[in-house]
Structures are given as structure tokens and as C-alpha cells.
Amino acid sequence: MKALFDLSGKAAIVTGSTRGIGLAIAEALIVAGARVVISSEDAAETARVAARLDTPGMACDVADDAALARLVDFGMAELGRLDVLVCNAGITGRPGPFADVDMDDYARVMAINLRSQVVLCNRTLPRMAASGGGSVVLVASLAGLRGNGRINAYALAKAGVAQLARNLAVEWGPRGVRVNALSPGFIATDLSRPLLDDAAFMARRMAMTPLRRPGTPEEVAGAAVFLASPAGAFVTGHNLVVDGGTLITDGS
């Protein structure tokens, strides 16, 4: 059964991969045998993580179309091919209702969380198809599947990411490229530390989660490996929710 999750010889790019979920996905792909390009907008962090993992790294602001093109060219030059793309980079933006939305912040959230994935896929998928196929994992969110009164543009962008996966799956499936979305729920990361330390929030959120605990980055990474590997070879256009059951619960 090991071969089902074997990525030996495969080449991958993971955006936003110097911390949290992105880093866990990059590490899991490497453990599965893939060669991985590390990337984030922070050049020093990218270099540090790439050196620790002994793998190539390139700083990239995903809001910059030219930088995304350079990232794909860098991956091809360093690895010789691209078989797996994980679009993980994203920001939450300013919290609040749409009635009070700052449209400049809205534009940046949409650019980083959604537009960048369109641009990066357009740069990468033709190369994957030309070499026989590949797998793309677009990181969406549980927020894109539920109504939310505070994370406005973020939730809207993540809903768009899931639809992007469906559209690209239809478009590129005939050429051997699978495209799926991955929607984490509440995951324990450094960025979620303020919420983890908020006892009232945690009591309410865990009561809404059948498994009664936050997820871990490694648990999200395991789902990404499944989608990238032969184990997921007949899965495309899917939005895999990794949320401990929050989406389906009635709060019991």
C-alpha cells in the first residue's frame, strides 16, 4: 500500500510554505519522496526553511504576476519538471461585515487568495500537461462553505477557490491534470494562537466540532499528500474538507 502515497521522483511547488499549513504540506511531500520548491514573500524565511529542508527556495509575492511567472520558471530550472502544485499562500484581511469593508483591503485579499491561484495555475498547468499530467491542490477554507459575519472578503475568495478547482478540473482533466481544493477548518497554528488562548471562543468552537479539538497542520498535510499522490488518482474537482466535522454538525 505504500506505493499509493509514493511521490518519489515528483517535483512540486508549494506557496506560503515557510510556516503553518504550507510548511507541513511541503514537509509531508518531501517525506513522500517529492522534490519541493519552498516559497513565501519573506526572502529570509524562505532561505532559512529551504536550507533546513535541503531543498530549493524562492521568495515570491503572489500578488505580483511577474513574480509568479519567475517562480514557475525557477521550479522548472531547479527540478526539471513540475508534477504537483500547492497554492497555499493567503491572508485573512481585516475582519468585519461587508457593510464596513475597506475596498483596498478587499482587493488585496482577493488578489492574494484567489487571483494569484488563477495566474499560477495558468502558468503551471500547461507545463504539467505537456509532461504527461499532474496534480494541483488549491487551499480553500471551511470559511468558504459557511456564512460568516466577520471574515468577509476572505470567505468569498475561498469560496471562489473551490469553484476554481472545479472549473480547472473540467478544463484540464482530458490532458491528465487533476485539480482539487482542500478546505481546512480550525487548525492549531502560530497564527491561530490568539484564538487558541481565548477560552470563550474555544469552548464555543469545540462544541461545534464533533471531534472536540482543533486540527493540526500535519493532518491537513496528510490530505494534501492524498490528493497529490496515486492514492487520489481518480479524484478531481473535489473540495476535501478537513475540519473535525464542523461543517456537518448540528451542534450536538
- The arithmetic mean of pLDDT across residues 169-183, rounded, is 98
pLDDT of the residue at 173: 98
The string of pLDDT tens digits covering residues 56-73 is: 999 999 999 999 999 999
pLDDT tops 70 at residue 251:
yes
pLDDT tops 80 at residue 168:
yes
Judge whether 204 lies within some domain: no
106 is an active site residue:
no
Judge whether 183 lies within some domain: yes
- The arithmetic mean of pLDDT across residues 80-85, rounded, is 97
Catalytic residue among 40, 93, 120, 154: 154
List, as own/partner pairs, every contact residues 219-224 make where C-beta atoms lie below 8 angstroms and the sequence separation is at least 24, other chains included.
219/187, 220/21, 220/24, 220/25, 220/182, 220/184, 220/187, 221/21, 221/24, 221/25, 221/27, 221/28, 222/28, 223/182, 224/25, 224/28, 224/29, 224/86, 224/137, 224/182
pLDDT of the residue at 148: 85
pLDDT tops 90 at residue 224:
yes
Three-state DSSP class for residue 160: helix
pLDDT tops 60 at residue 196:
yes
Q: Which three cell numbers stand for residue 141?
A: 477554507
- Global pTM reads 0.96
pLDDT of the residue at 208: 94
pLDDT tops 80 at residue 1:
no
pLDDT tops 90 at residue 137:
yes
Judge whether 212 lies within some domain: no
- The arithmetic mean of pLDDT across residues 110-114, rounded, is 98
Q: Tell me which residue range forms the domain holding 53.
A: 2-187+218-239
Cα distances (Å, whole numbers) of residue 12 to 2, 143, 174: 20, 26, 21
The string of pLDDT tens digits covering residues 10-55 is: 999 999 999 999 999 999 999 999 999 999 999 999 999 999 999 9
Judge whether 250 lies within some domain: no
What string of DSSP letters covers 181-203? Answer: EEEE-SB--STTHHHHT-HHHHH
User: If you average pLDDT over every residue of the chain, what do you get?
Assistant: 96
Task: Find the distance separating the first CA and the last CA of the chain, reported in whole Å.
Answer: 37
| Count of structural domains within the chain | 1
pLDDT tops 90 at residue 128:
yes
Judge whether 208 lies within some domain: no
- The arithmetic mean of pLDDT across residues 146-171, rounded, is 95
What CATH number does the domain containing 169 carry? Answer: 3.40.50.720
Judge whether 200 lies within some domain: no
